[in-house]
Amino acid sequence: MSYHIYTTSGIILKRTPFGEANILLHILTEDLGLIMASARSARLFVSKLRPALQEYTLASVSCIKGKGGWKITNVVYLDSFYFDYPLHTHKVMSQIVNVLMKMIQGETPHKEIFEIVKNGLVFLKNVREEMVSDFETLIVLRILSQLGYVVSDDSTFIFLNNEWNEDLLIKININKKNIVAVINKALKESQL
């Protein structure tokens, strides 16, 4: 029986070792949504997959869907959102991953969310430490908006575009109390 190989861009959100040398990966993909995929023998030093399957890595992922779920067949490293990034950005990355893992259910494609996360993490590299909290507020607001939990109105409209710049983070900081209230309401209404 032959399987169709799907190739898409993906961000490795979480990796969990299992078995002797295997990895279970949570990958936010551009075309397939949030998937869980296994990579056999990927923890072995000689594995060609190992270097590109680190958390917070952007990669081109090829996989097949079998009876037991998704299986990685090949991966090409594109970029890392972790190793060249300042230490003050690492915590916010894990908090973004927690939001994504909690809020995205199933394998529904979310191209817009993938773009928000990818472009946001590229921008995060140059965010000053005192603005990291504002960045987190902005990216979570945009993710929740794409999932349908935040309505674009007078208080949120200026934040729900595709731009990433320091001026936007300053505006988030000025409106932080209201924006955090919108986010908390959305999280509460999601019942997740």
Q: pLDDT digits over 102-111, tens only? A: 999 878 888 9
Confidence band of 2 (pLDDT split at 50, 70, 90) = low
pLDDT reported for residue 113: 96
Whole-number Å distance between alpha carbons of 149 and 118 = 20
Rounded mean pLDDT of 139-144?
Answer: 96
- At 46, give phi and psi (nearest 5°): -85, -5
Task: Note the pLDDT tens digit of each residue in 14-40.
Answer: 999 998 998 999 999 999 999 999 998
Q: Over 60: is that where the pLDDT of 181 sits? A: yes
The dihedral through the CA atoms of 119, 122, 128, 129 has a sign that is positive
Task: Pinpoint the residues of the chain covered by CATH 2.40.50.140.
Answer: 6-80
Beta strand 33-39 with 6-18 is unpaired
Nearest to 11 by CA among 118, 94, 162: 118
pLDDT band at 50 (very low <50, low <70, confident <90, very high): confident
Q: What three-state secondary structure class fits 27?
A: strand
**125-142 mean pLDDT:** 97
Structure tokens at 161: 């575009």
pLDDT of residue 1: 53
Residue closest to 53 by CA, chosen among 72, 31, 66, 33: 72
The Cα 182–Cα 176 span in angstroms is 10
Q: What is the mean pLDDT of residues 166-172?
A: 96
Q: Is 54 exposed, middle or buried (0-12, 13-18, 19+ CB in 10 A)?
A: middle
If you ran DSSP here, which 8-state letter would residue 58 be given? Answer: E
Q: What is the dihedral of CA 118, 155, 133, 123, to 10 degrees?
A: 30
Predicted pLDDT of residue 12: 96
Where is 6: in which H helix or E strand? strand 6-18
- Confidence grade of residue 192 (pLDDT, cut at 50, 70, 90): low
pTM for this prediction: 0.92
The CATH class, in words, for 6-80 is mainly beta
pLDDT at 185 over 70: yes
Q: Residue 149: count other Cβ atoms within 10 Å of its Cβ.
A: 19
